[in-house]
Amino acid sequence: MFSKFTSILQHAVEALAPSLPLQEDFVYHWKAITHYYIETSDDKAPVTDTNIPSHLEQMLDILTQEEGERESGETGPCMEYLLHHKILETLYTLGKADCPLGMKQQVLTFYTKLLAHIRQPLLPHINVHRPVQKLIRLCGEVLAAPTENEEIQFLCIVCAKLKQDPYLVSFFLENKSKRPETKSPGRAEGVKENVLAPDTGQPPAEEQPDPTSNSNNSNNYNLVTSLLNLTKSPDGRIVVKACEGLMLLVSLPEPAAAKCLTENTELCELLTNRLVSFYKALPQSMDPLDIETVESVNWGLDVYNLKEDAAVFTGKRALISFLSWLDYCDQLIKEAHKSAAAVMAKAVRERFFVPVMEPQLMQTSEVGILTSTALLNRIIRQVTSQALLQEMVYFLLGEEREPETSATVTQNPLRHRLIEHCDHLSDEISIMTLRLFEQLIQKPNQHILHSLVLRNLEERNYLENKPQEEREPLENGQPHDAVDLEEDPLFGDDLSPNSRLSGSDWLSSSPPQSPDHSKSDGKTEVHKIVNSFLCLVPDEAKSSYHVEGTGYDTYLRDAHRQFRDYCGVCHRWDWRGNPKPFEKCNLEIPFFEGHFLKVLFDRMGRILDQPYDVNLQVTAVLSKLSLLPHPHLHEYLLDPYISLAPGCRSLFSVIVRVVGDLMLRIHRIPDFTPKLLLVRKRLLGLEPEGINVDHMTLLEGVIVLEEFCKELAAIAFVKYHAAASSLP
């Protein structure tokens, strides 16, 4: 009661007193605080019952006003006084003792506002950064402390200041060999001793970071440690702010800080332990569609309603928590200094992917395989940081660079298992795994494509290995015994209007015709290639020209857009415009298409006998590979006129075999063409579902085959046109 009366009286006196010069006013408020400790024996009253908060606020206002009245960067007498008399050091001692009760909160607020409001750089001053460093160590000591909010605000402003001037971080890498502070004998006595300690008279100093002190591994990064402690707070808002602070710190360009971050703090443990615990909290069985379609999650923004989430599907809340933390790890690694990013990404691989995800993917339970593959697909989709993507790719596919052989396909068990799952007895697992690979080959990582496909095509040993003089003479660009598709009655001139492109289309895009199919640069004239694909499916097996809006033009537009996107992804990679010169290729090595293409070609060969959804996914992966702007992949997948080595197959040769099989089977099915048209209309929703149609799987396979050939023709045309337009 007496202290409240004193406060009222003091405010009245201040109101009546004439305004003092700023420095005198500043000193007055500081002396008022120190006198409180000298005169008060009862330290049990909370700080809010004293004038201390008011005096601290006034001191801040004066410092802000002083800076506003001076030239930029000029230190005024009040700031000089604060630095010279080590006011921040004294306040730290008072805050540490929390005397009177609540003083720590007041000190944290004062430091925060001082750093936030004063524009001139304060942290280089030894009498600022030393007490700031000490105060940092007090933060996060106690979980759910009453000062948590003030602690996180203070830590975040320090992080923001370091982001502005990254070199200052060296002040906050504290050598472990330094002696710990000696504890004062008692709370109140220690405070009094500090307040009454004589001024040393040393002028305020700016201290330069000592580069040698940070070159060893014995530094504490207390700022990171305190933020890590606060990420364990039960208050979600505190956790998000702590994560934001860590995001700022990992991005600092100082190598010593990056090294200290990963070697001397528990940041990697926090990231991986939480990732593991969130993953293990997921239900063992989840609907892949739920995993795929749950809204995209940004860390820190996962506002949720438990009742609503439970109503949607079991495990949604756990899934969002996992994906949210994954997003944070990904963004943190993306923002981090390169060396720190590499260490953190490797930690995720070693502590999460290998021990937790790999056993899930290698299990034999079909439900478990489906759930873990769907989760992996979602992870692949979500990861954007180069370092984390690289480690994930090495985890999935291995780091091998040399071409595969049939004997080495099993040397990486996880890679082998995942590719085998593309041809699993369960159609659901096959589709999910194919979708996973479709997602993977679209990621901006060169090793994915090298591992799955390109390493096996490097030597072009899928081509016939005969000297030029030993080869058969060419007729229209082909060996005399080869079937010219355009002369074959199966692919005659009575084609539908949509199957060929009009002559005017080719005038603007094709080069002058040469006597051979192959031009001097080894590229086959594009109109021959396009028509080869468009003519592959015989007329009686075509149904698209009976239905409006299913023409070739749609594929051209899609292929143009997708190819442009792929070129944007691949432009940094050293993919030459032309294939490796034939004379430099080692054609003696037996060709092996590789495990991935083998499974895809095998499935493509069964297109007439497997479910529609499987076929859609197989052709989707093959079309994505065909779009890639690599000359060997283009040659192998999109040039029907290459002379294959004995025993080798290409995408075109696989489709030719399927068409041959189809021709034998068409004549055994009565009313084949009307049935085919009915199935197409049902698939497009133009006809209601009615009675079952015989040979449904075959008919759906024929429709997918026709559409896929049109898609490949469009891709070949778009890629050729892009190459032609880029020539000088």
- Label residue 297 by pLDDT band (50, 70, 90): confident
How, if at all, do strands 174-175 and 474-475 pair?
A: unpaired
- What is the C-alpha separation between 173 and 167, in angstroms, rounded? 11
- The yes-or-no verdict on residue 18 having pLDDT over 50 is no
Is the residue at 614 inside a domain?
yes
- What is the C-alpha separation between 479 and 365, in angstroms, rounded? 51
Q: What are phi and psi of 524, to 5 degrees?
A: -75, 140
548 and 693 housed in the same domain? yes
Tokens coding 711: 């898609």
Is the residue at 79 inside a domain?
yes
Of the residues 348, 367, 397, the one at which a domain ends: 397
Is the residue at 677 inside a domain?
yes
Tokens coding 292: 């795929």
Residue that the structure tokens 């007490």 belong to: 131
Sign of CA dihedral 18, 23, 24, 27: positive
Of 364-373, 521-530, 549-558, which has the strongest mean pLDDT? 364-373
pLDDT in tens, 378-435: 999 999 999 999 999 999 999 999 999 999 999 999 999 999 999 999 999 999 999 9
Section 715-721 average pLDDT: 92
- What is the C-alpha separation between 295 and 66, in angstroms, rounded? 51
Q: CB atoms < 10 A from the CB of 474, how many?
A: 14
- The yes-or-no verdict on residue 163 having pLDDT over 50 is yes
pLDDT of residue 324: 93
Q: Give the structural domain span for 329.
A: 265-397
- The yes-or-no verdict on residue 476 having pLDDT over 90 is no
SS3 627: helix
pLDDT in tens, 652-686: 999 999 999 999 999 899 999 999 999 999 988 88
Give the CA-trace dihedral at 657, 661, 667, 671, to 10 degrees: -90
- Label residue 587 by pLDDT band (50, 70, 90): confident
| Distances, alpha carbon 462 to alpha carbons 590, 641, 643, in Å | 8, 13, 8
Smallest CA-to-CA distance from 538 within 366, 661, 426 is with 661
pLDDT in tens, 115-142: 999 999 999 999 999 999 999 999 998 8
- DSSP letter at 18 equals P
Is the residue at 712 inside a domain?
yes
Q: Which residue has the higher pLDDT, 100 or 187?
A: 100
Is the residue at 417 inside a domain?
no
CA 443 to chain centre: 10
DSSP states of 519-575: -TTSPBPHHHHHHHHHTTS-GGG--GGGSTT-SHHHHHHHHHHHHHHHHHHHTTS--
pLDDT of residue 383: 97
- The yes-or-no verdict on residue 148 having pLDDT over 50 is yes
- The yes-or-no verdict on residue 478 having pLDDT over 90 is no
pLDDT in tens, 334-350: 999 999 999 999 999 99
pLDDT of residue 20: 59
Is the residue at 171 inside a domain?
no
- The yes-or-no verdict on residue 484 having pLDDT over 80 is no
How many domains, the chain?
3
pLDDT in tens, 311-332: 578 889 899 999 999 999 999 9
Is the residue at 713 inside a domain?
yes
- The yes-or-no verdict on residue 558 having pLDDT over 80 is yes
- What is the C-alpha separation between 65 and 77, in angstroms, rounded? 12
- What is the C-alpha separation between 355 and 344, in angstroms, rounded? 16
Is the residue at 635 inside a domain?
yes
